[in-house]
Amino acid sequence: MTCIACITVKRKTITIREDQNEWIEDQHLNLSSFVREKLDEVIEERE
C-alpha cells in the first residue's frame, strides 16, 4: 500500500497541440490527474 502523503510530487512541462488544448478545456479535464492516471495504467501493464 502506498502512502499518498509520502509521495514526492515533481513538476514536468509538456507540449501539446492547440487542438488538444482546446479539447482539454472543452472537457474541463484536469490534465495533471489525467496524465497521472494514464501513467499508472501503463506502469501497471508493464510490471
Closest alpha carbon to 34 in 24, 26, 22? 24
Residue 35: predicted pLDDT = 95
- Residue 4: what pLDDT? 66
pLDDT of residue 8: 85
Averages of pLDDT over each 10 residues, the chain, 47 residues: 75 96 97 95 96
Conformation bin of residue 28: beta by default, left when phi > 0, alpha when psi is -120 to 50: left
